Amino acid sequence: MLRFRLIKFNYRSEGIQIFFHNGHCPMSKLLLIDDETDVQYSFRRNFDSADIELTTASSGEEGLALIPKLKPDLVLMDIRMGGITGLETLRRIRQMDTKLLVILMTAYGSTQTTIEAMKLGAYDYLTKPFDVPKLKELINKALKAARDMKQVVSYQPLLESEDYELGVVGRSEPMQQVFKLIGQVAASDATALVTGESGTGKELVARAIYHHSERSSQPFLAVNCAAIPEQLLESELFGHERGSFTGATTQRLGKFEQCNNGTIFLDEIGDMTPPTQTKILRVLQSGMFERVGGNQPIKVNVRVIAATNKPLEQAVAAREFREDLFYRLNVVRIHIPPLRDRRDDIPLLVNYFLKKIAKEHDRKPKSIATTAVKALEKYHWPGNVRELENIIRRAHVIAKSEAILSADLPTEVTGQGASSGSAPAAPGEISSTDASALARQLFQIAKRDPKLKVLPAVERELIIEALKDSTNNQVHAAKLLGITRATLRKRIEKFGIHRELKIG
């Protein structure tokens, strides 16, 4: 990886700016406000792997003077400093910019000050001395949140426009419907539920809603409910009181409190435990909640956008997800169809990703052979737009010339390139087209005579076929059918197949 480093003095503050650049990620600007030279030194030493431009200031006054010109993505600031305090500095930062993310650092563990600071809209806080890996993780998380807030996501179909800044690309009929809904939801303050398979662009759509809403000058915070361990999610969302559980050594504000007046994006909402679901329902109904272990009601004004790739209706039917919460979230539903159901978007997306990648590398976009685009159009895209982006990125790297050819695409894509155009199956998976063609035929039979009990009949025959094919090897047969051996055994018993095939 190519890396160049430039060190120069900042003429205004005499602070030092250090540029780290590895050539493909946009550089993030980090401002450190701390009067301890040791801390400044440790930051410089520890952040040489990130694409970060670090500027240091030794006082709140100096930091405040730097912000308008520097426009940092993230500020890390000590609470106790000579001159104006960190709290006062934060207050003044908020007057300048409602969204600039600030992480506070304190050596004193003073809960009261920390809480004050969080109420003023600090993104998070850390106690010194730092655990460097944790600090890096937090900084990366905050920088991602800063990017999410900054990048204007346009939902208009970008065709010939040169303005290829992050957009939700698409011109197919279903995407036109999605754009329409984004516009309608953005204009209101209603809760929105974005659904769709993995990689269809749910987060992108959520951010587009935020950018076009009246809350766009306020924070946008994303919480991935599936990525946070169950027992910590409630505290992450609602905060906790000191001593409320083992490890809760200080009081902490949750994302709802931090995000007051802003927008919260609850990703993978189907993964919440029942107590968290109950609390979310209450916030949606009344804006009220209590911190974990607390009994003082707190009121917030937060817009919720939720997303899920699981069918919530099924979770409701299985009593895993509260029905009342489902209806509350489902006020406006934006469903993003899988990519295989909107193949007209593929060439447009390919073009978009080629331009996006070229921009990141600061070079001219590569072209792509028509045969390669044709193969991409035929593939069944189990990973949706994310998979398409990854395949284009990979092809961009391995293409030997300025044009991407079919040979630069993975075989699972081109393997079906010459085929009939039906949706091909990934290894170990029946294609949706094959499955629906079969289902249609069977259904016609079922319709002719409802007494036929088509499902058990077909299941029985499938099991017999699989057992015959694997000479009664149940492990093998179960594998062929995509079920467990235990399930197979139960079915053999249920359908009386063991007698027929003389198996034990």
The residue ranges that bind Mg ion (CB under 5 A) are 203
What Å distances lie between residue 89 and 69, 76, 275, CA to CA?
A: 17, 12, 38
For residue 455, give the amino acid letter.
Answer: L
β-bridge pairing 367-368 and 263-267: unpaired
Closest to ligand ATP by CB, 118 vs 385, is 385
Among 81, 168, 376, 467, binds ligand ATP (CB under 6 A): 168
CB of 196 to Mg ion, least distance (A): 9
Query: Does residue 271 belong to the site contacting ligand ATP (CB under 6 A)?
Result: no
476, 477, 483, 486 alpha-carbon torsion, rounded to 10°: -80
Amino acid identity, residue 125? Y
CB of 254 to Mg ion, least distance (A): 21
**Binding site partner of 408, from Mg ion, ligand ATP, none, Cβ cut-off 5-8 A by kind:** none
Contacts of 344 (CB under 8 A, 6+ apart): 171, 172
Nearer to ligand ATP by Cβ, of 257 and 271: the residue is 271
Of 335, 386, 393, 498, the residue at the interface with ligand ATP (CB under 6 A) is 386
252 DSSP 8-state letter: B
Q: In this complex, which beta carbon is closest to ligand ATP, that of residue 188 or of residue 198?
A: 198
- Counting contacts by CB under 6 A, is residue 309 touching ligand ATP? yes
Q: Choosing among ligand ATP, Mg ion, none, which partner's interface includes residue 350 (Cβ < 5 to 8 Å by kind)?
A: none
Question: Smallest gap, in angstroms, from Cβ of residue 471 to ligand ATP?
Answer: 41
Choose among Mg ion, ligand ATP, none what residue 254 binds, the Cβ cut-off being 5 to 8 Å by kind.
none
Q: Which does 204 bind (CB under 5 to 8 A by kind): Mg ion, ligand ATP, none?
A: ligand ATP
Binding at 168: pick from Mg ion, ligand ATP, none (beta carbon under 5-8 Å per type): ligand ATP
Region for residue 188 given its phi and psi (left: phi exceeds 0; alpha: psi -120 to 50; beta: otherwise): beta
Across 188-281, the runs of DSSP E, i.e. the strands, are 192-195, 220-224, 263-267
Q: Select from Mg ion, ligand ATP, none the partner in contact with residue 424, using the beta carbon and a kind-dependent cut-off of 5 to 8 Å.
A: none
Among 101, 204, 233, 395, binds ligand ATP (CB under 6 A): 204
Binder among 199, 262, 337, 365 for ligand ATP (CB under 6 A): 199
Which residues in 347-366 contact ligand ATP (CB under 6 A)?
352
Smallest distance from ligand ATP to CB 426, Å: 17
Q: Round to whole Å and give the CA distance between 126 and 399.
A: 45
Direct distance between the N- and C-terminal alpha carbons of the chain, in angstroms, rounded to an integer: 61
Q: Which CB atom, from 239 or from 270, has the smaller least distance to Mg ion?
A: 270
Least separation in angstroms between CB 197 and ligand ATP: 7
HEC sequence for 131-167: CHHHHHHHHHHHHHHHHHHHCCCECCCCCCCCCCCCE
Give the residue with the Cβ less far from ligand ATP, 67 or 208.
208
Report the alpha-carbon angle 138-143-148, nearest 5: 125
Contacts of 204 (CB under 8 A, 6+ apart): 153, 166, 168
Q: Which of 100, 148, 202, 350 binds ligand ATP (CB under 6 A)?
A: 202
List 36, 203, 290, 360, residue binding ligand ATP (CB under 6 A): 203
Q: Which does 81 bind (CB under 5 to 8 A by kind): Mg ion, ligand ATP, none?
A: none
Supply φ then ψ for residue 306, to 5 degrees: -115, 155
How far apart are CB 267 and Mg ion at their closest, in Å?
5
**CB contact set of 445 (below 8 Å; sequence gap of 6+):** 452, 454
CA distances from 161 to 38, 156, 165, 167, 348 (A): 49, 10, 10, 11, 12
Q: Which is nearer to ligand ATP, 89 or 200 (CB)?
A: 200
116 to 135, contacts with ligand ATP by CB under 6 A?
none
- Binding part of the chain for ligand ATP, among 95-103, 139-147, 194-202, 255-263 by CB under 6 A, reads 194-202
**If 0-12 CB within 10 Å is exposed, 13-18 middle and 19+ buried, where does residue 282 land?**
middle
Give the Cα separation of 490 and 459 in Å (integer). 12
Residue 85 DSSP SS3: coil
Residue with Cβ nearer Mg ion (21 or 147): 147
- Min dist CB 57 to ligand ATP, Å, is 34
169 touches, from Mg ion, ligand ATP, none (C-beta below 5 to 8 Å by class):
ligand ATP
Residue nearest to ligand ATP (CB): 201
Judged by CB, which is closer to ligand ATP: 77, or 304?
304
Give 229's DSSP letter: -
CB of 91 to ligand ATP, least distance (A): 35
Residue range at the interface with ligand ATP (CB under 6 A); choices 165-173, 421-429, 483-491, 493-501: 165-173
Alpha helices in 71-107 (DSSP H): 86-96
| Closer residue to ligand ATP, CB minimum distance, 118 or 146 | 146
User: Which residues, other chains included, contact 413 with Cβ-Cβ below 8 Å and sequence gap of 6+?
Assistant: 375, 376, 379, 391
Binding residues vs ligand ATP (CB under 6 A)? 168-170, 196, 198-204, 309, 352, 385-386, 389
